[in-house]
Amino acid sequence: MFDRSIKIAPSILAADFANFGAECRAIEAQGADWVHVDVMDGHFVPNLTFGPAMCAAIRPHIKGVMDVHLMISPVDVCLDAYAKAGADVITAHVEAGPHIHRTLQAIRGFGKKAGVALNPGTAVEAVAELLDMVDLVCVMTVNPGFGGQSFIASQVAKIARLRQMIGDRPIHIEIDGGITTATAPLVSAAGADVLVAGSAVFKGGSVANPGPYGANIQAIRAAAEAAVG
Ligand code: DX5
Ligand code: ZN
């Protein structure tokens, strides 16, 4: 069932790269709602991360939603592989090619939830013609490619504008980049419901000592919920 409650989606970009299965189990046990997987191709963004085989390998270690964020171009040729790898949500960038409409049709055609992401430099109007065919809009609050960057505050007005454009449609607003206990209230007040956080969730913890993951998730969630009217 669709709902706008606050959901925390830790990005495993900030996890121990030698231990993804255990890291996914640990963050879910510590209260993560979704698991966010940042796929980067070294071309659309200047960093290289996970392929479909890695997504398939971690899938059995995730009980809930596997949220795959594709920062790749071209994207259409790879959708089949990420769908087969077991993604629940597949998000593609509006900047990744000329045919985002076709991309979103294909994602839904695979029976997956379709997401569209916007870079900080892209106007929110770029998704206006897509709102009847998406389940999620991801507003990037950093330039994609790396974890641990600073939140770009100019994006908050964009989130509020997007929330107005969405109206009653069952579309999640996901925010990705620089989310902390300080920035979470800004985005939840503007209308966001899915908060991706990498460094702010994984800091201070480990698979051997996962308690800090839970404390971090709880602190971000509490900060976000306190700001929702
Ligand atoms: C950036 C990624 C983000 C990133 C967030 O390209 O899409 O998901 O991992 O990391 P933090 O929360 O550290 O900014
Ligand atoms: Zn991401």
Domains identified in the chain and CATH numbers: 7-228 (3.20.20.70)
Mean pLDDT of the chain: 98
Annotated catalytic residue within 33, 67, 176, 193? 176
Q: What is the pLDDT of residue 40?
A: 98
- Tokens 């460094």 found at: 199
Average pLDDT over residues 143-172: 98
Query: Is there an atom of ligand 1 within 6 Å of 147 CB?
Result: yes
Position 193, amino acid:
D
Give the residue among 1, 90, 96 at the shortest CA–CA distance from 45: 96
- Three-state SS annotation for the chain: CCCCCCEEEEEHHHCCCCCHHHHHHHHHHCCCCEEEEEEEECCCCCCECCCHHHHHHHHHHCCCEEEEEEECCCCHHHHHHHHHCCCCEEEEEHHHCCCHHHHHHHHHHCCCEEEEEECCCCCHHHHHHHCCCCCEEEEECCCCCCCCCCCCCCHHHHHHHHHHHHCCCCCEEEEECCCCCCCHHHHHHHCCCEEEECHHHHCCCCCCCCHHHHHHHHHHHHHHHHCCC
Average pLDDT over residues 100-107: 98
Average pLDDT over residues 43-64: 98
Query: 80: pLDDT confidence band, cut at 50, 70 and 90?
Result: very high
Q: What is the pLDDT of residue 225?
A: 98
Query: Is there an atom of ligand 1 within 6 Å of 28 CB?
Result: no
Q: What is the pLDDT of residue 113?
A: 98
Phi, psi of 71 (to 5 degrees): -105, 65
Candidate of 93, 176, 183, 202 to mutate for ligand 1, largest count of ligand atoms within 8 Å of Cβ: 176
Query: 181: pLDDT confidence band, cut at 50, 70 and 90?
Result: very high
Give the residue among 158, 156, 141 at the shortest CA–CA distance from 200: 141
Query: Is there an atom of ligand 1 within 6 Å of 35 CB?
Result: no
176 is catalytic: yes
Q: Is the pTM for the entire model greater than 0.85?
A: yes
Query: Is there an atom of ligand 1 within 6 Å of 39 CB?
Result: no
Reply yes or no on whether the pLDDT at 229 is more than 80. Answer: no
Percent of the chain scored above 90 by pLDDT? 99
Query: Is there an atom of ligand 1 within 6 Å of 68 CB?
Result: no
Q: In what order do the strands lie in the sheet with 172-176?
A: 7-10, 194-197, 172-176, 136-140, 113-118, 89-93, 65-71, 34-40
Annotated catalytic residue within 33, 38, 41, 67? 38
Please identify, by atom number, the ligand 1 atom nearest to the C-alpha of residue 145: 6
Query: 78: pLDDT confidence band, cut at 50, 70 and 90?
Result: very high
Tokens of 43: 């071309």
Average pLDDT over residues 12-30: 98
Position 228, amino acid:
V
Reply yes or no on whether the pLDDT at 1 is more than 90. Answer: no
Q: What is the pLDDT of residue 125?
A: 98
Query: Is there an atom of ligand 1 within 6 Å of 138 CB?
Result: no
Reply yes or no on whether the pLDDT at 42 is more than 80. Answer: yes
- Tell me: the pLDDT tens digits for 65-75? 999 999 999 99
Reply yes or no on whether the pLDDT at 3 is more than 90. Answer: yes
Integer CA distances (angstroms), 9 to 12, 77, 95, 136, in order:
9, 26, 23, 13
Candidate of 50, 146, 175, 201 to mutate for ligand 1, largest count of ligand atoms within 8 Å of Cβ: 146
80 is catalytic: no
Please identify, by atom number, the ligand 1 atom nearest to the C-alpha of residue 148: 13
